């Protein structure tokens, strides 16, 4: 049993290394995932920030959680793209003829998404510090923020896996991410929901991004936590489990 487990993790490490090499060789992936959210953060802080009323003196602190979610949503679209390319090139079939666990190819993409998005998040955090971001949070709140972002990444990655495995074209593989990237704009990520029209406010207050943003914002600012963190965790875990089940079904049909 121990040998099988070691073999499984060894296979995953090989697949992870393969996927990470593809990422680092593709500069457009790195630029899109990191530069676009940073440019958006610069735009909102230095161009639009003065006209936005949030009730806080430091708009970077208010804005950062939403920017991080947008970066992750943008990053996971490449997971769908890479899976689609592997399917089209027959990579799955080639690896399945080798003595490796069949699920490791899929798990390699999933873990790659976690690692690459973690790198993007760290880069964006460093830039936000230069822009004036400050947090009074201690180690445990930061650990909780990392956990929420990891769960959010996993949830979207399994959704991306469904798109990548079942899409008929490259555009179809990555198109799923467009609505997800747009969701933070109809949430409390950029402005308080109280400023929105009634119908928009109802939607904004009851979609997953708002609860995730509010939970991260409270953790980073050292504010008391309310039900947002439990709602955020419920959304992330729920989406992840449902997407995982459907992704594995689609994957098994492919093999």
Helices (H) and strands (E) in the chain, counts: 11, 0
pLDDT for 98 equals 64
Q: How far is CA 17 from CA 12, 20, 26, 116, in A?
A: 9, 5, 14, 12
Q: Note the pTM of the prediction, 2 decimals.
A: 0.88
pLDDT for 93 equals 64
Neighbours of 58 (CB within 10 A): 16
- Gap between the Cα atoms of 118 and 226, Å rounded: 26
pLDDT for 125 equals 94
Segments of the chain with pLDDT less than 50: 1-2, 4
Are 133 and 77 spatial neighbours (Cβ–Cβ below 8 Å)?
no
136, 154, 157: which is closest to 217 by C-alpha? 136
Two structure tokens written together for 109? 């993409």
């Amino acid at each position: 049993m121990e040998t099988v487990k070691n073999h499984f993790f060894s296979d995953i490490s090989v697949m992870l290394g393969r996927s990470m090499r593809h990422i680092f060789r593709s500069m457009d992936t790195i630029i899109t995932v990191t530069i676009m959210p940073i440019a958006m953060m610069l735009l909102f802080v230095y161009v639009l920030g003065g006209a936005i009323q949030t009730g806080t003196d430091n708009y970077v602190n208010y804005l950062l959680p939403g920017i991080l979610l947008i970066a992750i949503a943008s990053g996971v679209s490449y997971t769908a793209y890479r899976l689609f390319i592997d399917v089209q090139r027959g990579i799955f079939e080639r690896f399945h003829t080798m003595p490796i666990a069949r699920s490791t190819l899929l798990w390699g993409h999933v873990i790659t998404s976690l690692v690459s998005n973690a790198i993007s998040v760290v880069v964006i955090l460093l830039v936000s510090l230069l822009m004036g971001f400050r947090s009074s949070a201690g180690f445990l709140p930061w650990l909780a923020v990392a956990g929420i972002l990891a769960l959010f990444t996993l949830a979207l990655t399994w959704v991306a896996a469904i798109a990548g495995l079942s899409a008929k074209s490259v555009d179809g593989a990555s198109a799923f991410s467009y609505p997800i990237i747009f969701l933070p704009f109809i949430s409390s990520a950029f402005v308080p929901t109280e400023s929105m029209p009634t119908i928009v406010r109802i939607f904004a207050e009851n979609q997953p991004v708002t609860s995730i943003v509010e939970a991260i914002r409270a953790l980073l600012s050292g504010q008391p936590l309310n039900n947002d963190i439990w709602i955020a965790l419920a959304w992330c875990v729920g989406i992840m489990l449902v997407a995982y089940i459907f992704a594995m079904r689609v994957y098994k049909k492919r093999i």
